[in-house]
Amino acid sequence: MKELETGEVIITQDDLLKRIAELGNSISEDYRGKDPVLICVLKGAAVFMADLIRVVSIPIVIDFLSISSYAGRGESGAVRIIKDLDINIANKDVLMVEDIIDTGFTLGYLLRILKARNPSSLKVAVLLDRPALRIVDLPVAYKGFEIPDEFVVGYGLDYKENFRHLPYICKLKTV
């Protein structure tokens, strides 16, 4: 059995923090005078969410949603909610914070679920967009980085629960 280790860094910690500050400024401007609810999709978006809420300069409410959808590298198509929201989002301005968009199946499913709960508005902030794999076209209001079709880890993204702790985004390599 081959071992995996980190490979080439494709997004540095400095670049991540700089882009997240820009996203935070945009979110602060767009939601000024509102009371937005930022929903973190666990576990992958936790690091992104933590850094993002530190640079948002307006009052916010946060909540968490945990799902299961990945089977290996691809999405299985079977999405299960493991941890649902604690707050009622009806008539709220909601921003869903996600780590990565691949095919769009999982995000599309989550958007349908949340839209059925009647928020005033529902937008998406995503750290990484991998458009080469996109099957479902989805609107993304705030996008950190576009990446090629390569498996990446770090900054909350994992491979079998490993590598989430890395402060940057990198490729995996087999050794």
C-alpha to C-alpha distances, 9 to 3, 74, 151, 158, nearest whole angstrom: 18, 22, 12, 14
Q: In this structure, is residue 14 part of a structural domain?
A: no
> What is each CA distance from 65 to 23, 42, 172, in whole angstroms?
21, 6, 27
Which pLDDT belongs to residue 173?
A: 81
CATH (domain of 61): 3.40.50.2020
**Domain for residue 63, yes or no?**
yes
pLDDT on residue 70: 54
Q: In the prediction, which pLDDT does 29 show?
A: 98
What does DSSP say about strands 74-83 and 121-129: parallel, antiparallel, or unpaired?
Answer: unpaired
Q: Which residues of the chain have pLDDT under 50?
A: 1, 72-75, 175
Give yes or no: 63 in active site.
no
155 lies in a domain? no
Task: Report the domain count for the chain.
Answer: 1
Distance CA 158, CA 70 (A): 11
Any domain includes 11: no
**pLDDT one-digit tens code per residue, 15-48:** 999 999 999 999 999 999 999 999 999 999 999 9
- Structure confidence at residue 80 (pLDDT): 84
pLDDT at 72: 46
- CB of 68 within 8 A of CB of 44? no
Q: Per the residue annotation, which of 51, 93, 99, 102 is the catalytic one? A: 102
**Residue 7 domain flag:** no
Residue 41 lies in a domain: yes
Instruction: Provide the whole-model pTM.
Output: 0.90
In a domain, 8, yes or no: no
Q: How far apart are CA 81 and CA 163, in angstroms?
A: 24
Q: Is residue 51 situated within a structural domain?
A: yes
How far is the C-alpha of 124 from the C-alpha of 138, rounded, in Å? 9
Going by C-alpha positions, the residue among 129, 133, 49 that lies closest to residue 95 is 49
pLDDT of residue 68: 82
Q: Tell me which residue of 91, 129, 97 sits closest to 111, measured CA to CA.
A: 97
End-to-end CA distance of the chain: 10
Where in the sequence is the domain holding 103, given as residue range(s)?
A: 19-147
